[in-house]
């Protein structure tokens, strides 16, 4: 085979190999602009999700060692509005799922460029292709790790955070470069309209237009409509898990769709059951104690002593990183500030420090979590012993579990046995 004259070898490297009449700047630009909006929202809600974990209260919460300056934006996650994480993470996960057909459509629309001949024409073009590798690879990686985590229920315990977080920064860097290079052309293409197909090989065709187009079986607008229908269908079978309540039944694609939490006051979504994380009856039976530590003091309470403390109510949802959430449940239990007061912390105008919450659970990444001072101070932050008027079920964290307004579900530790105020590490 002689390629010395620069002619591409037979196959996909030849422009005439690609025959769809749909491919062209308009189609690519429409998908691209949807992704520009969507990926921006995904990135922002993703960063928020990370901030919501209190990752600087290392090492219990932070699963991302050496995040270094990538954590520059971290701030203290507020407790109001109490549905904040339910909203940001619901948007993050539902949008991530809904954008999959758009991403596939976009990749399909530019696939001839993957085989562009010669593969490397100049240094500038080589750098651009490398950035595209990061762009496409980064997108694939972020969507794949996100979907796997949501669908297969934390298949990367711990390391998911690190993978998805670093991946996001690589991806968004390549994305920013790509947008700055292509946005003007994309806007021109959309302005020109769906019917304006530039001549194959022309500058404006950008290597996307087939020089030998087949007969169309679908219009370009029809192709966009089809992808839109795909997104809509995905929305219809996932959004219900973020809305919760009776809408949950519509979430056919939700990971726990088949698992029925049963009826009654405890009949709402369960993440990990007591059995699945090895909680033994003896750990949460009559021998169970709550130890409260801080300021060099310690108090040990039986369940009866905990129930004898002032009980307060708060209507709060559980909102998981996986994108599902419950509607508001009515929790009741002891305020975290009242527990801090047991060891002499807080009081009318004293400072309440952060707290390390530990469960009876052995091993696994979710058996403990640190809460920030603003979360401890919130009057709705409880060590709950009851929900919707009934004693907590074993699967919802009996005998006591944390519930904090606005926070990710993973900070709402179940089967709590120890609270250490002021020492997160």
Q: Which residues pair with 293 in a beta bridge?
A: 298, 420
Output the furthest CA–CA distance in the chain (Å, rounded): 88
Kindly state whether residue 377 participates in binding ligand MTE, applying the rule CB under 6 A: no
Q: Give, as ranges, the residues between 245 and 304 that touch ligand MTE (CB under 6 A).
A: 269-272, 277
> Exactly one of 93, 410, 411, 416 binds Mo ion (CB under 5 A); which one?
410
Kindly state whether residue 52 participates in binding Mo ion, applying the rule CB under 5 A: no
Q: Give, as ranges, the residues between 226 and 255 that touch ligand MTE (CB under 6 A).
A: none
> Exactly one of 410, 418, 420, 422 binds ligand MTE (CB under 6 A); which one?
410
Q: Which stretch binds Mo ion (CB under 5 A): 33-41, 199-207, 240-248, 403-411?
A: 403-411
> Exactly one of 24, 409, 422, 424 binds ligand MTE (CB under 6 A); which one?
409
Q: Which stretch binds ligand MTE (CB under 6 A): 7-15, 109-117, 171-179, 361-369?
A: 361-369
Quick check: 281 and 408 in contact, CB under 8 A?
no
Q: What is the Cα–Cα distance from 163 to 175, expressed in whole angstroms? A: 18
Kindly state whether residue 61 participates in binding ligand MTE, applying the rule CB under 6 A: no
> Exactly one of 63, 238, 241, 412 binds ligand MTE (CB under 6 A); which one?
412
Contact code string over 153-182 relative to ligand MTE, x by CB under 6 A: ------------------------------
Three-state DSSP at 105 gives helix
Give, rounded to a whole angstrom, the gap between the first and last alpha carbons of the chain: 65
Q: Which stretch binds Mo ion (CB under 5 A): 163-171, 178-186, 348-356, 404-412?
A: 404-412
Kindly state whether residue 320 participates in binding Mo ion, applying the rule CB under 5 A: yes
Shortest Å, Cβ 46 to ligand MTE: 17
**Contacted by 396, from ligand MTE, Mo ion, none: CB < 5 to 8 Å by type:** ligand MTE
Residue 319 is classified by DSSP as: B
Q: Which stretch binds Mo ion (CB under 5 A): 64-72, 224-232, 316-324, 378-386?
A: 316-324
Shortest Å, Cβ 395 to ligand MTE: 6
Shortest Å, Cβ 409 to Mo ion: 4
Pair of tokens at residue 127: 């750098």
Quick check: 332 and 313 in contact, CB under 8 A?
yes
Kindly state whether residue 415 participates in binding ligand MTE, applying the rule CB under 6 A: yes
Q: What is the Cα–Cα distance from 425 to 418, expressed in whole angstroms? A: 14
Q: DSSP for 107-150?
A: HHHHHHHHT-SSS--SHHHHHHHHHHHHHHHHHHHHHHHHHHHH
- 79 closest CA partner among 360, 352, 381, 308: 381
Kindly state whether residue 335 participates in binding ligand MTE, applying the rule CB under 6 A: no
Shortest Å, Cβ 319 to Mo ion: 8
- Report the b/e string of 379-413 with b at 16+ CB within 10 A: ebbbbbbbbeeeebbbbbbbbbbbbbbbbbbbbbb
Q: Which residues pair with 7 in a beta bridge?
A: none
Q: What is the Cα–Cα distance from 14 to 193, expressed in whole angstroms? A: 27
> Exactly one of 253, 396, 404, 422 binds ligand MTE (CB under 6 A); which one?
396
Handedness of CA 337, 338, 342, 345 (dihedral sign): positive
Q: Which stretch binds ligand MTE (CB under 6 A): 107-115, 129-137, 304-312, 413-421?
A: 413-421
C-beta closer to ligand MTE: residue 27 or 402: 402
* E strand or H helix at 103: helix 100-114
Kindly state whether residue 255 participates in binding Mo ion, applying the rule CB under 5 A: no
Shortest Å, Cβ 255 to ligand MTE: 12
Nearest residue to Mo ion, scored by beta-carbon proximity: 320
Shortest Å, Cβ 271 to ligand MTE: 4
Cα–Cα distances (Å) from 94 to 32, 91, 243, in that order, read 19, 5, 11
Kindly state whether residue 93 participates in binding Mo ion, applying the rule CB under 5 A: no
What are the start-end ranges of the H helices in 220-368?
220-243, 303-308, 336-342
C-beta closer to ligand MTE: residue 189 or 318: 318
Q: What is the Cα–Cα distance from 403 to 377, expressed in whole angstroms? A: 13
**Contacted by 367, from ligand MTE, Mo ion, none: CB < 5 to 8 Å by type:** ligand MTE
- 55 closest CA partner among 41, 76, 69: 76
Q: Which residues bind ligand MTE (CB under 6 A)?
A: 269-272, 277, 318, 320, 359, 361, 366-367, 396-397, 409-410, 412-415
């Amino acid at each position: 085979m002689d390629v010395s004259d620069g002619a591409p070898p037979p196959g996909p490297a030849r422009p005439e190999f690609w025959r769809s009449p749909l491919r062209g700047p308009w189609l690519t630009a429409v998908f691209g602009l949807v992704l520009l909006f969507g990926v921006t929202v995904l990135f922002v809600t993703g960063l928020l999700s990370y901030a919501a974990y209190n990752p600087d209260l290392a090492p219990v919460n932070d699963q991302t060692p050496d995040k270094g300056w990538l954590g520059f934006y971290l701030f203290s996650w507020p407790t109001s509005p109490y549905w904040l994480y339910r909203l940001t993470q619901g948007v993050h996960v539902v949008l991530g799922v809904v954008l999959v057909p758009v991403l596939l459509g976009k990749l399909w629309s530019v696939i001839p460029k993957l085989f562009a001949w010669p593969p490397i024409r100049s240094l500038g073009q080589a750098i651009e292709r490398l950035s595209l590798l990061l762009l496409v690879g980064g997108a694939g990686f972020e969507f794949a790790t996100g979907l796997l985590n949501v669908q297969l229920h934390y298949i990367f315990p711990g390391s998911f955070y690190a993978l998805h977080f670093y991946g996001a920064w690589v991806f968004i860097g390549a994305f920013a470069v790509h947008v700055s290079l292509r946005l003007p052309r994309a806007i021109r293409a959309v302005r020109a309209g769906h019917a304006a197909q530039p001549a194959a090989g022309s500058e404006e065709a950008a290597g996307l237009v087939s020089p030998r187009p087949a007969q169309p079986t679908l219009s370009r607008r029809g192709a966009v409509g089809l992808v839109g229908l795909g997104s809509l269908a995905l929305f219809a079978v996932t959004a219900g898990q973020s809305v919760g309540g009776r809408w949950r039944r519509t979430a056919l694609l939700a990971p726990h769709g088949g698992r029925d939490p049963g009826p009654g006051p405890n009949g709402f979504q369960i993440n990990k059951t007591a059995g699945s994380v090895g909680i033994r009856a003896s750990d949460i039976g009559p021998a169970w104690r709550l130890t409260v530590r801080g300021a060099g003091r310690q108090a040990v309470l039986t369940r009866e002593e905990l129930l004898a403390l002032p009980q307060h109510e708060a209507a709060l949802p559980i909102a998981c990183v996986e994108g599902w959430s419950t509607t508001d449940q009515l929790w009741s239990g002891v305020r975290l500030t009242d527990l801090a007061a047991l060891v002499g912390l807080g009081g009318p105008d004293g400072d309440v420090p952060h707290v390390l919450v530990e469960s009876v659970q052995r091993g696994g990444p979710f058996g403990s979590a640190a809460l920030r001072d603003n979360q401890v101070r919130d009057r709705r932050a409880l060590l709950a012993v009851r929900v919707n008027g009934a004693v907590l079920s074993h699967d919802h964290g009996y005998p006591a579990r944390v519930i904090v307004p606005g926070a990710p579900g993973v900070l709402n530790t179940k089967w709590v046995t120890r609270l250490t105020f002021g020492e997160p590490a």
